[in-house]
């Protein structure tokens, strides 16, 4: 029944099975789009994930059941079992990782997932190149681009994972940009040669492996010089690479669902990268070749003054008798796993009539939206999360700003010091509040390696210690008032 010809398209017959397969891809694509739309708000994000995942499951099931090769045969049963086994193992491993992963390691997990997507697209291109029609430049181009972009996304994401996890350091050399330029030129030069040489895929087997090696090496060298403070931008960029590589794989197989899914990921990652760069007041080129953050000397490293401390009793009284409190979360909050007790603090203060809000900087943490995800895990109401542009005008009217584990995103040097590496970067203007309480583990600098003059300000008091312990002690102290 499924093999019955039901019509023709451009002179080519098509069957019921082919029609249902293409229809399923269309439905899957629509579910991707609608699921992505629902991800724009925390209240609908869970449903959006399920719908997008359902679209993927639909595409896989119909492909297994209805796909036909050029000879008109279906997928061999042995291959079906291999595919099902791979899906089962991958699902089990993914489920275990998702259950055990800590919120502090979420950026590393995102980078790892980016890497697996890039690796999949790279392997698709590698396996399909021997079947390429070298006279069809369009087909060869998408295959080679899938190889290059997938390999760069894979190796670059793995290096990003290592840097985020503290296992890989930075390359601090002015020669790095020239090495990268040489690698990029060699990679694309080899791809052009392969397209124009007139050789068969068999004769170019050495070239495809060399192209893969150059692309992998470029991915490593591309990410290595980039400092820690730029990691949110790099993760967004690599995410867009993974999407584009998936779209190339979709073109190879003429699969509309893969093409649209890849385009959505690529476009979303690109837009997010642009927004991240805007949030840091830097161009993407500057991020890639600037090697800013994560080490080295920085402006403002001289004698800033003395950090003044505050005890729990004074901090609890100051917060309890305030009218407006703004909490600025940072990576230190995630490290301490303090989001739940932080929510307990804001709930306690709200019960006393204090207006408590969270100020969210676009690049706070180690990945885009890190703080939003962190606080959503603790069930902080979404309407309490206020973006930087909205909260800044109200800072002069704020009684107390509580900075928890954040550093660079509240550093006034971005405004006051033109020589600072973060000069011009939009920040949360905590320094304009009437009082500032900073929770820090010690007197060290932030991830960008830049001294923060806010910590030495006249209105600033520091509460040293682990953020979770400090917040819990603060909650207990407020309850005893």
Q: Which residues are catalytic?
A: 408
DSSP SS3 for 404: strand
β-sheet with 324-329: strand ranges across: 385-387, 355-360, 324-329, 400-404, 435-440, 460-464
Q: Dihedral of CA 43/44/45/47: which sign?
A: positive
Give the DSSP H or E segment for 6.
strand 5-9
Nearest alpha-carbon partner for 33 in 372, 268, 367, 382: 268
The pairing of strands 5-9 and 400-404 is: unpaired
For 111: left if phi > 0, alpha if psi spans -120 to 50, otherwise beta; the answer is: alpha
Estimate to the nearest angstrom the gap between the alpha carbon of 335 and the chain centroid: 18
Strand runs (DSSP E) across 134-174, as ranges? none
Q: Which two tokens stand for residue 439?
A: 């929770």
In 167-281, where does DSSP find H-type helix? 176-196, 205-223, 231-253, 256-279
- Cα separation, 354 vs 470, whole angstroms: 20
Asked if 427 and 361 count as a contact pair (C-beta separation under 8 A), the reply is yes
- Report how far residue 267's alpha carbon sits from residue 276's, in angstroms, rounded to the nearest whole number: 14
Cα gap 5→63, rounded to integer Å: 19
Q: Quick count: other Cβ atoms within 10 Å of Cβ 197? A: 12
94: which residues sit within 8 A by CB, 6+ positions away? none
Residue among 233, 238, 358 nearest 290 (CA): 233
Residues 6+ apart with CB under 8 A from 98: none
Distance of alpha carbon 67 from alpha carbon 340, whole angstroms: 48
Cα distances (angstroms) measured from residue 148 to each of 143, 151, 185: 9, 5, 12
Q: Of 63, 117, 118, which Cα lies nearest the Cα of 94?
A: 117
**DSSP symbols for 409-444:** GG-THHHH-TTSTTTT-----GGGSSEEEEEESSS-
CA distance 465 to 161: 28
Count each helix (H run) and each strand (E run) in the chain, helices first.
17, 8
């Amino acid at each position: 029944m499924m093999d019955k010809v039901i019509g023709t398209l451009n002179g080519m017959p098509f069957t019921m099975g082919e029609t249902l397969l293409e229809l399923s891809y269309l439905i899957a694509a629509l579910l991707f789009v609608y699921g992505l739309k629902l991800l724009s708000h925390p209240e609908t994000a869970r449903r959006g994930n399920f719908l997008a995942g359902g679209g993927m499951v639909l595409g896989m099931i119909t492909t297994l059941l209805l796909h036909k090769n050029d000879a008109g045969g279906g997928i061999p049963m042995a291959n079906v079992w291999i595919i099902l086994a791979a899906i089962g193992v991958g699902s089990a491993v993914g489920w275990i990782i998702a259950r055990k992963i800590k919120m502090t390691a979420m950026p590393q997990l995102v980078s790892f997932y980016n890497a697996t997507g890039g690796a999949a697209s790279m392997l698709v291109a590698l396996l399909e190149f021997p079947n390429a029609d070298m006279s069809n430049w369009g087909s060869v181009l998408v295959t080679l681009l899938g190889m290059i972009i997938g390999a760069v996304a894979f190796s670059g994401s793995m290096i990003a994972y290592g840097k985020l996890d503290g296992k890989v350091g930075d390359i601090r050399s002015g020669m790095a940009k020239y090495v990268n330029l040489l690698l990029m030129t060699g990679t694309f030069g080899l791809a052009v040669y392969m397209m124009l040489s007139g050789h068969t895929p068999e004769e170019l087997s050495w070239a495809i492996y060399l192209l893969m090696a150059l692309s992998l090496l470029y991915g490593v060298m591309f990410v290595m010089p980039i400092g820690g403070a730029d990691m949110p931008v790099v993760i967004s960029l690599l995410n867009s690479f993974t999407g584009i590589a998936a779209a190339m794989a979709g073109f190879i197989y003429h699969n509309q669902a893969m093409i649209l899914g890849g385009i959505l990921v690529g476009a979303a990652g690109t837009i997010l990268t642009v927004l991240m760069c805007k949030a840091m007041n830097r161009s993407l080129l500057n991020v890639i070749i600037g090697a800013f953050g994560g080490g080295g000397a920085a402006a403002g490293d001289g004698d800033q003054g003395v950090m003044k401390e505050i005890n729990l009793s004074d901090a609890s009284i100051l917060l309890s008798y305030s009218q407006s409190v703004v909490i600025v979360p940072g990576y230190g909050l995630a490290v301490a796993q303090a989001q739940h007790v932080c929510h307990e603090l804001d709930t306690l203060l709200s019960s006393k009539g204090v207006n408590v809000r969270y100020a969210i900087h676009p690049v706070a943490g180690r990945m885009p939206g890190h703080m939003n995800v962190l606080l959503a895990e603790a069930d902080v109401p979404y309407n309490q999360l206020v973006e930087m542009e909205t909260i800044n005008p109200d800072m002069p009217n704020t009684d107390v700003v509580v900075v928890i584990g954040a550093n660079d995103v509240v550093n006034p040097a971005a405004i006051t010091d033109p020589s600072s590496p973060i000069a011009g970067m939009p920040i949360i203007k905590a320094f304009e509040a009437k009082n500032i309480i900073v929770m820090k583990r010690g007197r060290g600098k932030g991830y960008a390696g830049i001294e923060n003059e806010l910590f030495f300000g006249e209105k600033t008091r520091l509460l040293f210690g682990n953020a979770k312990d400090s917040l819990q002690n603060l909650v207990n102290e407020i309850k005893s008032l």
